[in-house]
């Protein structure tokens, strides 16, 4: 049975950082562009400010995408709110993004430990438990988040779990181990493996599916690569180039815009 977050026709199109090929990453402009195209899934990053606000921002420091410098978590939200990404765009609150589009689902990459304790209250206030998938490159952050969430939330596989999928040889002799791993993942609310293209081989997709996991591939911005991973059976593609992915899916008859969207 599909968890609510993944209860959507396959393949799923994710707007990575809102669709960073068309507007500054993780900005209102990027997210709004993807929404206008009909995207039902937005991917973003979450970091904490010094005074406990959860904002959509990827890097540990401000240097790359703003004209400020130093770690974001050294600033209060008031100070962060005064900054501009690429000189024009404010840094959104995660809570404001979730509340802005009640029919849209959010893939949230937890980038720091302080932000983890802030997420449960954000989900309580927005009642977005079924509209969020929590992911991280850190298994420790994922375990901590799982322990703090007071309702089940879709989780992406940790790096260790992904390694387990890659090592699963898939022979009949291994089925007891496969069943054990699948049971563990289900108890941990892990329902998807979000991996780079180098990991998403046909064999990996088959093994993940045998464990009951969807496979979401990131970050794919080339048309030919999009087609290749869709042909391999990927359940979702994350892209900065939301225009191209939408075009590819329309051409394949696989574009599934959010309910109420005016797009084809």
The residues annotated as belonging to the active site are 16, 58
Q: Counting Cβ atoms within 10 Å, is residue 70 exposed (0-12), middle (13-18) or buried (19+)?
A: exposed
Residue 245 in tokens? 């992915």
């Amino acid at each position: 049975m599909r968890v609510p977050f993944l209860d959507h026709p396959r393949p799923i199109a994710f707007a990575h950082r809102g669709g960073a090929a068309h507007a500054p990453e993780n900005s209102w402009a990027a997210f709004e562009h993807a929404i206008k195209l009909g995207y039902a899934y937005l991917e973003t990053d979450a970091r904490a400010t010094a005074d406990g606000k959860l904002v959509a921002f990827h890097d540990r420091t401000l240097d790359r995408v703003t004209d400020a410098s130093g770690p974001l978590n050294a600033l209060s939200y008031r100070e962060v709110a005064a900054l501009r990404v690429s000189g024009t765009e404010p840094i959104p609150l995660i809570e404001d993004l979730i509340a802005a589009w009640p029919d849209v689902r959010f893939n949230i990459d937890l980038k720091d430990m302080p932000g983890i304790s802030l997420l449960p209250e954000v989900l309580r206030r927005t009642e977005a438990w079924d509209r969020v998938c929590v992911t991280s490159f850190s298994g420790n952050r994922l375990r901590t988040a799982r322990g703090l969430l007071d309702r089940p939330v879709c989780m992406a596989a940790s790096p260790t779990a992904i390694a387990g999928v890659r090592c699963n040889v898939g022979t009949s002799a291994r089925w007891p181990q496969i069943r054990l791993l699948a049971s563990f993942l289900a108890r941990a609310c892990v329902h998807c493996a979000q991996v780079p293209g180098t990991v998403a081989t046909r064999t990996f997709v088959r093994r993940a599916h045998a464990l009951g996991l969807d496979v979401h591939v990131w970050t794919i911005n080339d048309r030919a690569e999009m087609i290749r991973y869709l042909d391999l059976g990927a359940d979702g593609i994350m892209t900065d180039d939301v225009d191209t992915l939408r075009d590819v899916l329309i051409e394949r008859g696989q574009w599934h815009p959010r309910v109420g969207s005016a797009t084809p």
